[in-house]
Structure 1
């Protein structure tokens, strides 16, 4: 356990003020700085310090943004060349240069230093910013911890975050690390509304309505799933012109899904903006209008969108240096989500480690080829292997990630767990609102996942049946809800055809008589519509105006007049309309005159 020192920060102060008061000229070395609040200027302290620095930031947008604002500063990331770094070092060797790099590009910095015979360990201060990412992201981003072996070799080094998570790495104690906690003397709690729901999409729609947005409003939605973002575009037409800020890989995925506005850099906020996890921390989001911040956790569509209230939620709110108008977290709750408790993880890791090392010992002792083959097969294909480092030792960052991930999972199995997690952060003043909708996330996603028209029709028909109670309820609130949900369900001309057929003939006809056949529905609706038009008042008036009861008509004349009347009313006409159709509007008889059959109009039908 690292020793902790607590220092106070007062309202209006920045980290530089605190450090100066405590006798530090810059960020202290061998220290994890827990600044508790985002936006206190920790990175700024290092960028303006009178020493050469290497600053590791978790994502590209952060380093690009900060490098633009400071002299003698270089952003190193994917696509950059070692020679580019070397040229920068040569040019700025007499300055207090600052190199901002992603963890993955740190090797380029190291190679450039080696090429120029610079001892970076003694010449530079190394700062690892937003250090919780070392633990939180290492499971899917293995390279994020690559600089750590070098980090501990620097003579001067530190980590910083408003929400630090430390791995149980013995090197912290070995190098005399301590924690410097910056504790505010003022109330810094932010109001947050927590909405737990069975349908994140419907809750989002309702929230957007409650926010009373106008042309100047800005809404920023943070969700760690491109699939969820894309599904919201499908379900909520109002979000069609949203901007999505995400990684290069995700921009391609959105491009494949359609013409979506997306970027890897934040330039200007649109009325609606989506942000994936690379924008949860470090980067500053500048807006002249204080935005409404919405955090979305879609536990049925994307379990990876679970947000840790104690770290990620705090970091998200901290992106906006000029403040926000409101903060809301909308989350589904998934009781069936599997997780392991801390005690279960302790037991599993202990047992796995014992068995794995037993295999290693047996391999050393064995001379039998069969034994050695099976032992190697077991050692190279087991579930403990992902938690070992390159030296075959338990990796402290991967193991810390496992504990953190399971700890977050349990929050989303019960709404009380999530509420309590927010309440205990000390960062939020929580208003809790549980919501229950007629259709759930599972219902919504089932429609998205259907790949056949018949399958979609079968699901939609069940939804139409479930809406009947609302349709038959005369209360205005029920009617409004009915029309709202119906609008959400009907997304295409085919969906509209299904609903029209359902209204006219019921679900039994669609399921049992025509087996969801779209062409059969269209033909039936056309016949029904023709019947309605033919029996309408305007059609009756038109026919009566075209015929004279004092005139005898040939059958071909009757057919020609009816054909024109049908076309005028927008009815489908084949070759001609038979003269017998006139019986809809007149009592008629056929008489013989001048050796030809004539149609005589007796009287109008009632």
Structure 2
């Protein structure tokens, strides 16, 4: 974005201070403001401005928290009625009232204004805060753009964010000034990017190294749920998320969850899109971790130029450290800007041809098929309710594909962080013998034999690690082994690998019965050769004792039973010969054996 005005801000100053130095009493109209740094108090600046205002915020928590601090403010969201807004307007008509609303709540404000006869376009200043959400969230939250048609009718209006995104193809913004709030001090935040093929293990290692409060941002409830299950340290974490996310976690064993941030736990999960713009208060600066789990959930990508900056800005008291753990997927399908241009151009041509053809034909067959094609096609999600291309939906298309593309290459993701000019950036690659994709394939996707083949291959690759004396590497090995060996069948494979090696398992064709039999025979052999077995034999069969064959068999069976061996098969006195020299005799009652000496 090219800027038409730049206002400087000094260390320790707020947004209002920068405006005053530039000769502005409050936020100027018809402008898009990049405040560059979150937490400068831009919304507060409008809340105390001597004018009537409508402030649109993307989410409920920030609206509630800000409205509570200002007597002349009303928070408008789901559950707040038009009647309540009317009462507020009538009670505060002679004050500089402030209506804080979600995009979905704006229609209720409009209805209330019309009811009491207020021309809101003339009387109120409208501010759209965190305006990048208009583009980033519109694909799953269509209602976020509902106020925009009215927005352009206001005489006094502005959009603001630390990371603004404006649709390039929307000519309604052509007359808007682009304003930059430029710090005149060092403000960049340290961030460590760890690219890895195993997000699960890397997250465990990172949180083990952190002392104090840890806040983990992940845009996938399913990924968060898997971290709960597979990382013991996180079993008592709390997740701050939407109602839908809460329900998913409730089904997953009633884990701690909340929509309102009151007090942080030792470990905390946040769905970062849901918690845009809300203040997170922590007594001590927390460690912040971003998770982009590309094999578990492709929607967990985080945009370095917007979301990463916004997340850090949520912590008004600063942060202790920032770490981004990301998997890279070279095979991730995404489109370049040129490809999107071509797609939209082609789709638009075909769609408009269908509509034109429909107006020209009276043939029932043609009309039926054309109506079916027009009513169900992949171009429709980019059109507004009048069938025209929607700038925000199309901008979202470009934005999503651009961010996905960053995660196809480590270099692209690193470059994206460097280009933000917000981070002091470092990078580490952390590769593991077992990747997230392989772990999930073993646990969920592979047929039994394919699963066994992959486990054996991974055990071979991890064999050197199993013998390491490095405590950190040994911990990593034990955790990865625990995530690899998760069933009884897996245990047979692992035990056979340790006893007989990988080739034996392959020669057994990964057959579970063969492996189990081999382990039983091997276990029996080991027990029979043990010192404890020799001691038991010597105590049971003293030197010089002479016993009938039946007595000897019965006594030997009791020894085997105490040692945990199988006693269901036939046992012979010949088995004693591996422990003692025996003399065989016969008397009037039958055969006997005599213990001469122990070997």
Q: TM-score, normalised by structure 1?
A: 0.88
1:12 equivalenced with 2:26 (yes/no) = no
Deviation at 1:342, TM superposition (A): 2.5
Q: Aligned partners of 1:117, 1:22: CA distance in 2, in Å?
A: 36
Q: 2:385 aligns with which of 382, 390, 408?
A: 390
Q: Aligned partners of 2:558, 2:129: CA distance in 1, in Å?
A: 78
Trace 1:332-481 onto structure 2 (pairs within 5 A): 332-450=327-445, 456-470=451-465
CA contact (8 A) 2:77 2:105 kept: yes
Q: Aligned partners of 2:325, 2:350: CA distance in 1, in Å?
A: 43
Q: Aligned partners of 1:311, 1:548: CA distance in 2, in Å?
A: 83
Q: Aligned partners of 1:564, 1:449: CA distance in 2, in Å?
A: 45
Q: Aligned partners of 1:550, 1:157: CA distance in 2, in Å?
A: 108
User: Who is 2:522 aligned against?
Assistant: 528
User: Who is 1:62 aligned against?
Assistant: 62
Structure 2, unaligned runs of 5 or more = none
Change in Cα spacing, 1:567 to 1:64, as seen in structure 2 (3 Å) is: farther
Deviation at 1:97, TM superposition (A): 3.9
User: Who is 2:210 aligned against?
Assistant: 213
User: Who is 1:294 aligned against?
Assistant: 289
Q: Aligned partners of 2:177, 2:128: CA distance in 1, in Å?
A: 15
The DSSP-based 3-state class of the residue aligned with 1:67 is helix
Task: After superposing the two structures, state which structure 1 stretch, 446-455 or 263-272, moved more.
Answer: 446-455
Q: Aligned partners of 2:257, 2:171: CA distance in 1, in Å?
A: 42
The DSSP-based 3-state class of the residue aligned with 1:434 is strand
Q: Aligned partners of 1:476, 1:96: CA distance in 2, in Å?
A: 64
Q: TM-score, normalised by structure 2?
A: 0.89
The DSSP-based 3-state class of the residue aligned with 2:432 is coil
Change in Cα spacing, 1:398 to 1:587, as seen in structure 2 (3 Å) is: same
1:316 equivalenced with 2:340 (yes/no) = no
Q: Aligned partners of 2:127, 2:536: CA distance in 1, in Å?
A: 85
1:254 equivalenced with 2:249 (yes/no) = yes
Structure 1, unaligned runs of 5 or more = none
Number of residue-to-residue matches in the alignment: 598
Change in Cα spacing, 1:288 to 1:204, as seen in structure 2 (3 Å) is: same
Note the alpha carbon deviations across 1:289-324, whole angstroms, 9 max, x for none.
212222222233322222221111111111111111
Deviation at 1:389, TM superposition (A): 0.9
Q: Aligned partners of 1:400, 1:291: CA distance in 2, in Å?
A: 34
Change in Cα spacing, 1:530 to 1:187, as seen in structure 2 (3 Å) is: same
Q: Aligned partners of 1:588, 1:67: CA distance in 2, in Å?
A: 95
Q: Aligned partners of 2:489, 2:249: CA distance in 1, in Å?
A: 25
Q: 1:545 aligns with which of 539, 542, 545?
A: 539
Deviation at 1:545, TM superposition (A): 2.2
Deviation at 1:419, TM superposition (A): 1.6
Task: After superposing the two structures, state which structure 1 stretch, 50-59 or 400-409, moved more.
Answer: 50-59
User: Who is 1:31 aligned against?
Assistant: 31
Q: Aligned partners of 1:476, 1:324: CA distance in 2, in Å?
A: 29
Note the alpha carbon deviations across 1:238-284, whole angstroms, 9 max, x for none.
33333222222122223334453322222322232222133452011
User: Who is 1:586 aligned against?
Assistant: 580
Q: 2:280 aligns with which of 267, 281, 285?
A: 285
CA contact (8 A) 1:559 1:576 kept: no
Q: 1:307 aligns with which of 299, 302, 305?
A: 302
CA contact (8 A) 2:73 2:100 kept: yes
Q: Aligned partners of 2:565, 2:79: CA distance in 1, in Å?
A: 63
Trace 1:235-246 onto structure 2 (pairs within 5 A): 235-246=230-241
Deviation at 1:38, TM superposition (A): 0.3
Q: Aligned partners of 2:6, 2:544: CA distance in 1, in Å?
A: 107
Q: Aligned partners of 1:450, 1:509: CA distance in 2, in Å?
A: 25
Change in Cα spacing, 1:109 to 1:533, as seen in structure 2 (3 Å) is: farther
User: Who is 1:192 aligned against?
Assistant: 191
CA contact (8 A) 1:163 1:311 kept: yes
Note the alpha carbon deviations across 1:374-424, whole angstroms, 9 max, x for none.
333332233322211111111111111122222223322222222222112
User: Who is 2:180 aligned against?
Assistant: 181
Q: Aligned partners of 1:83, 1:237: CA distance in 2, in Å?
A: 49
Q: Aligned partners of 2:371, 2:341: CA distance in 1, in Å?
A: 25
User: Who is 1:328 aligned against?
Assistant: 323
Q: Aligned partners of 1:160, 1:231: CA distance in 2, in Å?
A: 36
Q: Aligned partners of 2:97, 2:451: CA distance in 1, in Å?
A: 60
Change in Cα spacing, 1:481 to 1:55, as seen in structure 2 (3 Å) is: closer
Q: Aligned partners of 1:71, 1:553: CA distance in 2, in Å?
A: 101
